[in-house]
Amino acid sequence: MKIREASSQGTACGLRQIQKGQIVIDGAGVRINRVIGSSRLNYIDPFVLLDEIRSVDPKDYIAGFPTHPHRGIETITYMKHGSFRHRDSLGGGGLLTDGCVQWMTAGRGILHSEMPEKTAGELWGYQLWLSLPAKDKMAEPRYQHLSPDMIPVVEENGMNIKVISGEYKGVHGPAKNWLEANYFDVALEKGSVFSFTIDRQMSSFMYVHSGTVSICTLFTETVSEKELVEFQPGTRVELKGISGTSGFLFLASHPNNEPIARGGPFVMNTEEEIEQAFLDYRNGLIG
Ligand code: CO
């Protein structure tokens, strides 16, 4: 279900669909804008979830995410503002503050909790899930804490590009991935243009978190705050800031092209594997 069709000009410059998220309550009662992983947009293979938590009201997030399991995915949390405490069953943990990223490979199974530390002020962050390919779903769990000083920033022509993962103009992000993935947080001053050629085999999208951008420099398709745009593989995207400062997350990765089965915190290939994950969790075999 698309929220709106791209114009023919938009389609001509590589735009596949434009979407908005849905408000859901998850964890112990956290209000989330679910951009990917909802009934509106199930997945953009291999991206199976994108949640946005953004509120100045602690009631929306203070309940946090008490201990829960994961299997079959990597969960990537990017904290724009605020602080969250992570603890996991491998003894991993850390405090995510402004600009921090945690890149957690759940693999065959991990238990973790994600709880807010601050009880006042704005919380603004994202959690992305990458579905691991079948051959890696039962990989060893792993935790990477990426502090802001580890994340390179490319500044040029009115652009500020944080390279969390993957590569932009020879600058490499610090994350070690199972799946090759570009994860950038891009800020554009009005009039500046971010361009990127998407590999023929890659899925990609952007999620505008601030301001408004136009999709093509020659045409007039515009995308505003809280809208997601999926791009056609093999196109060159050109994104121009048309508000004071605009900002978006830009993601690209290779699709697994495998069946996707979901069960709460587990993402596997078959319903049997989901049942097995719940059984393993009940029997204390995860984490
Ligand atoms: Co989790």
Q: What band does 6 get if pLDDT is binned at 50, 70 and 90?
A: low
Query: What separation in Å is there between the alpha carbon of 113 and the centre of ligand 1?
Result: 7
Query: What separation in Å is there between the alpha carbon of 241 and the centre of ligand 1?
Result: 33
Query: What separation in Å is there between the alpha carbon of 115 and the centre of ligand 1?
Result: 10
Nearest Cα to Cα of residue 66 among 31, 126, 114: 114
pLDDT of 12: 64
Neighbouring C-beta atoms of residue 104, cutoff 10 Å: 24
For the residues 247-266, what does the mean pLDDT come to? 97
Q: What band does 1 get if pLDDT is binned at 50, 70 and 90?
A: very low
Residue 102: pLDDT over 50: yes
Q: What band does 5 get if pLDDT is binned at 50, 70 and 90?
A: low
Query: What separation in Å is there between the alpha carbon of 55 and the centre of ligand 1?
Result: 19
Q: What band does 216 get if pLDDT is binned at 50, 70 and 90?
A: confident
Query: What separation in Å is there between the alpha carbon of 31 and the centre of ligand 1?
Result: 15
Query: What separation in Å is there between the alpha carbon of 111 and the centre of ligand 1?
Result: 8
CATH number of 3-282: 2.60.120.10
Query: What separation in Å is there between the alpha carbon of 66 and the centre of ligand 1?
Result: 9
Cβ atoms 281, 69 nearer than 8 A = yes
Query: What separation in Å is there between the alpha carbon of 3 and the centre of ligand 1?
Result: 28
Dihedral (C-alpha) 249, 252, 253, 255: value to the nearest 10 degrees? 100
pLDDT of 177: 84
Tokens 């009662």: give the residue. 29
pTM exceeds cut of 0.75: yes
For the residues 145-164, what does the mean pLDDT come to? 96
Q: List the chain domain ranges.
A: 3-282
Query: What separation in Å is there between the alpha carbon of 238 and the centre of ligand 1?
Result: 34
Q: How far is Cα 65 from Cα 198, in angstroms, rounded to an integer?
A: 35
